[in-house]
Amino acid sequence: MTNDLRHMALGLILAFGLAAVPPVTVASGPEADRWEFAGEVFLWGASIGGTSSAGDDVDISFGDLIDNLDFAFMGKLAARRDRWTLFADLVYLDVEDGVNTTANIVGRPVKTDIEVQLKGFTSTLGGAYRIWETGSTDLSLLAGARYLRLETDLDIDIGSGISQEYSDSGHVWDGIVGLRGKTDLSDKWYVHYYVDVGTGDSDLT
């Protein structure tokens, strides 16, 4: 599993931002010396894809994740002062699925139950410095690190009291650089955009 993580990609397809707290606003004058805080909860439309160390392709679609989702949490915290912003982006997924099949064991068909559970946690931590600002838009350079951890549990039951459990886990750390910004569309609506790239334990993130 540890080697698999080096080739594991978490594809983010679609994002819906649901602001739990109003976004951080740009401060000027005396207020620029104060720390301002904000938080958000959101939903990522995600898929998981990659290649295992044995050369097998891994492809879990967004629909499969939703169908088999046990629990998920996605949120963001940020603190801002003048041109500087500190932020933490957290995503946790717990996905479980089972299949009933028949295995050919010693020439005899045997009913087999397989349960698979995948737990994934990723966090992006960093700081940003605002390099461009207008009345409605601001853009910042960012740098930081991303942590990814995956845990898998496999439970195989072939009947007659014969069962086997397997567990494995692994994690990677990657350094990142990128851009983040926000454009106000009106008093109530805004667009938040973000892009980063990096490497480290992974070949590319």
Predicted pLDDT of residue 75: 94
Whether the Cβ atoms of residue 181 and residue 139 lie closer than 8 Å to each other: yes
pTM reported for the whole predicted model? 0.71
Predicted pLDDT of residue 14: 31
**How far apart (Å, rounded) are the C-alpha atoms in residues 132 and 183?**
12
Per DSSP, the three-state class of 161 is coil
Q: HSE of 174 in the Cβ direction (CA atoms, 13 Å)?
A: 24
Predicted pLDDT of residue 195: 95
Predicted pLDDT of residue 27: 45
Predicted pLDDT of residue 71: 86
**How far apart (Å, rounded) are the C-alpha atoms in residues 174 and 64?**
27
Predicted pLDDT of residue 106: 66
Residues of the chain with pLDDT under 50: 1-28, 30
DSSP string, 162-184: -EEEEEEEEEEEEEEEEEEEEEE
